[in-house]
Structure 1
Amino acid sequence: MAKKKAKKKAKRKRNYRKEYDNYHGKPKQRANRSKRNGARRKLGLPVGNPKEADHKTSLKAGGSNNRSNLRAVSRTTNRRKGSRSV
Structure 2
Amino acid sequence: MPRDYKKEYREYHSKPEQRRNRSLRVLARRKMAKELGEDTIEGKDIDHKRPLSRGGTNARSNLRVLSVAKNRGRK
TM-score by length of 2: 0.74
Q: How far apart in 2 are the matches of 1:66 and 1:58?
A: 12
CA distance in 1, matches of 2:12, 2:55: 23
Is 1:53 the counterpart of 2:42 in the alignment?
Answer: no
SS at 1:53 equivalent = strand
- Give, in whole Å, the separation in 2 of the partners of 1:25 and 1:56: 25
Gaps of 5+ in 1: 1-11
Distance 1:15 1:70 in 2: 33
Which whole-Å CA distance do the structure 2 matches of 1:15 and 1:62 have between them? 30
Structure 1 residues 1-43: Cα deviation after superposition (integer angstroms, max 9, x where no partner): xxxxxxxxxxx22211111001111111111101111111111
Could you tell me which runs of 5 or more consecutive residues in structure 2 were left unpaired when the two chains were aligned: none
Q: Which has the higher strand share?
A: 2
- 2:45 and 2:28 map into 1 onto residues whose CA distance is 9
Aligned positions, number: 69
Larger Rg: 1
Counterpart position of 2:18: 29
State the Cα RMSD in Å. 1.9
Aligned-residue sequence identity (percent) comes to: 51
